[in-house]
Chains A and B, each alone.
Chain A
Amino acid sequence: EAGVAQSPRYKIIEKRQSVAFWCNPISGHATLYWYQQILGQGPKLLIQFQNNGVVDDSQLPKDRFSAERLKGVDSTLKIQPAKLEDSAVYLCASSLGGPLETQYFGPGTRLLVL
């Protein structure tokens, strides 16, 4: 069974530029999560999708971050414009059903904003 795929693995941009990350969850997984993991900290949920609907985006900085999951499969997370403090690893995870199901994580995208 293929795992959660993410691309790119690494990205370096300058502040005020925009960037997009892509995630393909495990086939059949209804729930998809985007986390931000700042160096030295645990992951923090940005947004949770159930199929193509948003379940929780309370911690998503909506003035600069956006995410979509069209067709309820893969998802993109965008930052526009990026700030220095957005430097982090962005993790995508998926689970078969709701949040009490085991979450499977992708390898992450490491973003550096200069």
Chain B
Amino acid sequence: AQTVTQSQPEMSVQEAETVTLSCTYDTSENNYYLFWYKQPPSRQMILVIRQEAYKQQNATENRFSVNFQKAAKSFSLKISDSQLGDTAMYFCAFMKQGTPLVFGKGTRLSVIA
């Protein structure tokens, strides 16, 4: 079974600074998909960014980018120019064709003014 590990239960960052959240996963598959979801306090979970394993180029969405290291099975999220609205739980998730999303335990990020 696939597992997703987020080794940082909590992190904090100063406003306007850059922070990197770590995620590793375990799979024997070659084709799969990786996701970062954001869950703000008392609000809906939303997709931040996704990466297809067959793509070598790292995905980017505005201030959010990933560092996908397929051989190392690592999928970190970098948030640049952190804003107060980035305060949330961040979940890394893995999926392969035909199986459900598997989530990590999450990292609680606090952005400090």
Contact = CB atoms under 8 A, between A and B. Distances in A.
Interface of A: 3-4, 33, 40-45, 48, 56, 59, 91, 93, 99-100, 102-108
Interface of B: 4, 33, 42-47, 50, 91, 93, 95, 97, 100-101, 103-106
Contacts of A4: 44
Contact of B45 (A41, A91, A100): A91
A92 B105 CA distance: 18
Contacts, number: 46
A43 B105 contact: no
B105 A105 contact: no
A93 B39 CA distance: 13
B100 A3 contact: no
Contact of B44 (A3, A40, A48, A56): A3
Most chain A beta carbons < 10 A, residue from B45, B50, B97: B45
Contacts of A59: 100
Given A102-B50, A105-B44, 18 more contacts: A4-B44, A40-B105, A41-B105, A41-B106, A42-B106, A43-B45, A48-B100, A56-B100, A59-B100, A99-B95, A99-B100, A100-B33, A102-B47, A103-B47, A103-B101, A106-B44, A107-B43, A108-B44
A62 B103 CA distance: 22
Nearest to A4: B44
Given A103-B47, A107-B43, A107-B44, A42 B103 contact: yes
Given A40-B105, A42-B103, A43-B103, A105 B46 contact: yes
A73 B97 CA distance: 24
Q: Which of A104, A105, A107 has the most chain B CB atoms closer than 10 A to its own CB?
A: A105
